A and B are shown apart, each in its own frame.
Chain A
Amino acid sequence: MSDVEEQQKNREFKTDDDFDTEFFKRIENRSNIMKCIQCGTCTASCESGRWTALKTRSIVRKVVLGDLSVLDDPDIWLCTTCYQCYERCPRDVKPTDVIMELRNYATKRGNISPNHRAVVGYLKNFGHAVPINDEVRKRRVELGLEELPPTAFKYKQEGDDKDLKKIEKYMFDLPPVKEEKKGEEK
């Protein structure tokens, strides 16, 4: 990298080239998002943001500006979907939905944490995000319940895996692990 390029990369300011005004044009509810007045009600409501780096308002701002860096921002994964901002935003921006949608785009780019990847695996294999274990099987029997609940997993155990096979095949296709991101994930 030449000196000039290096300097360019470290600059503090942004130029129009840093924004992609096209990308977010397809976002749902866009007209409302563009009406955000940056009042901060969302951030002030945010139960996660009080303790973490998540600043809801600035996420909405980045969407308005077309700042795609928001898709690589780990903060979007800190929203607990408590809907407090959604309830209170005076301009009906629905920030929770915005964040959920950003996560969809981020996932497509391969920005998905290993733990989340594992949860998708569980769904495909067991039909559950939290699969059963031996301990609980025992408890179920003690409580007088069937050892396995009558969900898709039970049928798989009984040799009928037509449901889970299809779910595995057709649902929640994740992109391959992003190379350079690997080390960064917590």
Chain B
Amino acid sequence: MTVEEKVKKTDEIKGGADSKEAEEEPRIGVFICHCGHNIAGTVDVAKVAEYAKTLPNVVKAEHYMFMCSKPGVQMLKDSIEELGVNRTVVASCSKNQHGRTFANAIQEEGLNKHRHQQVNIREFNSWVHQKEKDKATEKAKKLVEAGVNRARKLEDVETRRIATTKAALVIGAGIAGLRASYDLAELGIPVYLIERLSTIGGHMTQLNKTFPTLECPQCSISPLTNGVANHPLVELYTNAQIKNVGGSMGNFEVEVEIKPRYVKDNCTSCGECSAHCPVEVPSEWDSGMSIRKAIYKAYPQAIPATFVRDKKNCIECNTCVNICPVKAVDFSMETETKTFKVGSIVVAAGYDEYDPSEIEPYHYGQKGFEDVITQLKLERMLAPGSLTNSQVLRPSDAKIPKSVVMIQCVGSRNDQVGNEYCTGVCCKFAIKNARIVKEMYPDTDVTICYIDVRTPGLNFEELYKSAQEVGVRFIRGRPSEIVRDPISGNLKVIVEDTLSMTPLQLKADMVVLSAAMVPPEGIGPLGSKLQVLRSKEGFLKEFHIKMNPTLSSKGGIFIAGAIQGPKDISESVAQAGNAAAIAAAPLVKGYIEKEMLIPSVDLDLCVRCGLCKTVCAPAAIQINDDGTPMVNEVACKSCGMCMPACPTGAIQLLNFSDKQLLDEIIPIAGGGAVCEDEL
């Protein structure tokens, strides 16, 4: 079959479900496979077939050399036609090996494929009990009986198609969010990009140079920021927050609150307003390293270029309103709430830098310790056009430090602050910055105190080496504290050089803390609005760490970039591309096809306790106003976890119900109740 034919074929088999009513008398066909000697060499297949014949509802029981061969499959089909078999049991290899072959065969005959029960007597029996032929035969009988029992009550499972909304919503406009938006838009999908700040680009725009190549991040990101901002299919909303999320995979409804900029789009970015605004506050974008006004633009290349007024700090002097040559400042703008209908959501909310003041011995942020800064602050100092004019100047006296000590693993790999993980990026950016500083000031001693240097991957060990070559000193030891001489004000870093077993007191004009990357502020509420689960560290948890690291716990919601866990830029971009592709798939196709193998709730039994909802990881169960649970058939992943949670057995997964499993269990457990009176 060519690929085109296959596509056509899947299109044909859609709701093939409503074929036959499940009520009729079960007529079961049983087929035992020899698999050459593979099964028949160990199991007496004839005996098993004889036994099968004795079981209720079995209208045919055969054994055959190769069931998966054309004649074998034909036997199956013929039995349906000739004997009116309406359920089939094939005892052969595993479900993965040929289960599907037989299921498809009966489907071709008009039976729902879920009416086939595969019994594995090869991998689970003949191959593992080759030396115990009698026992293997006995076991095969029991397995076949179990299969027949199970087959008796199998119900049809409908395959349904749900049309999807061809639009996507991306949360967070850092590098990951931008990449995902752009890729989605290029696939022809309209994108709503939601950024909570007034500018896009995220942390990457704050960096000075990016490892391993030490390129200018502004230069690398600006084609993307411009590309996204000008893409006809991308609608960008800044100063925006997610308020509410409804619906499920394929069809979400997202309510977004957009705070006003108080400056209209005709703003020419002339900067007059800002120049005359009397209010000065520390710039968040500049990591507090410089001052901005109450009406401002975060940085000259910021996108959108329109200025923004910070209502919280504004004293409403109206200077800006009056001075603006194009009358762009407008205080009457109001918060808007918009609702977007989208098929997929990509969350790319990034990270925050860990606040090291929690680690008290380092005294970050305390009086007298102004020269203890974080790497992000150092990046801001080094960046072009910074307040220090790209020089490294210590905050206390604006002098070039003669000794810089960097401390690694601040807030990472630390059980006491609860971040057990290794950020994985800080070794790389510390080495990057150490090398840059050392190259700028060859007379300055630059030291990195580390526990382990973690620089895996192409180009990174090379980066490490290059820093060693220019003379960065590496000391293996985690500093216990930074002490300040109360008289001279000098700082010292206390550390053991574990390799020579010497406690050291390092003079430090400036200390740079390589702080961890932690989940961004507000991720808790965002996570609960999206109904996605989070890892214990607070990042959004992927569905499967290896096989599906871009899907969240909930279908239709994808994760990209540092929100899933600390990542560098390349990894964020790579993940964003993948998120875009899998988020786009159902939207491009136009529908989601899903087997309705879902639980149903017996409302007579249900006591409205809501326990089923609590265990459902994909958040497929909603509780109605009257307290009854409702299964969202699109979101449900057919795991059955809700079943044992229910105290009354009201919620039962189709074809895996307690009763159906019991039927299967009885023969293989030895058959028949043991002590009825007691249990």
Contacts and interface: CB of A to CB of B under 8 A. Distances in A.
Q: Do chains A and B touch in the complex (CB under 8 A)?
A: yes
Contacts, number: 64
B413 A41 contact: no
Interface string B383-415: 000000000000000000000000001000111
A44 B501 contact: no
A49 interface: yes
A43 interface: yes
Contact of A44 (B409, B452, B496): B496
B480 A44 contact: yes
Given A40-B498, A46-B503, A57-B498, A88 B413 contact: no
Nearest to B477: A40
Nearest to A44: B480
* Residue of A40, A49, A50 with most chain B CB atoms under a 10 A cut-off: A40
Nearest to B493: A44
A41 B501 contact: no
Nearest to A84: B480
* Residue of B409, B415, B480, B501 with most chain A CB atoms under a 10 A cut-off: B480
A38 interface: yes
A37 B477 CA distance: 10
Contacts of A42: 480
Interface string A62-93: 00000000000000000000001000111110
B273 to A, nearest CB: 48
Interface string A160-184: 0000000000000000000000000
Interface residues of A, number: 21
B415 A90 contact: yes
Contact of A43 (B361, B416, B498): B498
A55 interface: yes
Nearest to A38: B498
Interface string B463-482: 00000000000001111110
A78 to B, nearest CB: 14
Contacts of A8: none
Interface string A33-54: 0000111111111100110000
B503 A39 contact: no
B409 to A, nearest CB: 7
Contact of B416 (A55, A57, A92): A92
A29 interface: no
A21 interface: no
A89 B361 CA distance: 12
Interface string A13-45: 000000000000000000000000111111111
A41 to B, nearest CB: 5
B503 A50 contact: yes
Interface string B442-462: 000000000110000000000
Given A55-B501, A58-B501, A44 B495 contact: yes
Contacts of A50: 503
Contacts of A49: 503
Contacts of A44: 477-481, 494-496, 503-504
A38 B497 CA distance: 11
Nearest to B408: A39
A88 B478 CA distance: 10
B474 to A, nearest CB: 14
A85 to B, nearest CB: 8
Given A57-B496, A90-B415, A41 B503 contact: no
Contact of B480 (A41, A55, A58, A91): A41
What 4 A-B pairs are tightest by C-beta distance, nearest first?
Answer: A40-B496, A44-B480, A39-B478, A45-B480
Given A39-B477, A40-B496, A90-B416, 11 more contacts: A43-B477, A43-B496, A43-B503, A44-B503, A45-B481, A57-B496, A57-B498, A84-B480, A88-B416, A88-B480, A91-B415
27 contacts: A37-B413, A38-B498, A39-B451, A39-B478, A40-B476, A40-B477, A40-B478, A40-B496, A40-B498, A41-B477, A41-B478, A41-B479, A41-B496, A43-B496, A43-B498, A44-B478, A44-B481, A44-B494, A44-B504, A50-B503, A55-B501, A57-B501, A88-B416, A88-B480, A90-B409, A90-B414, A92-B416
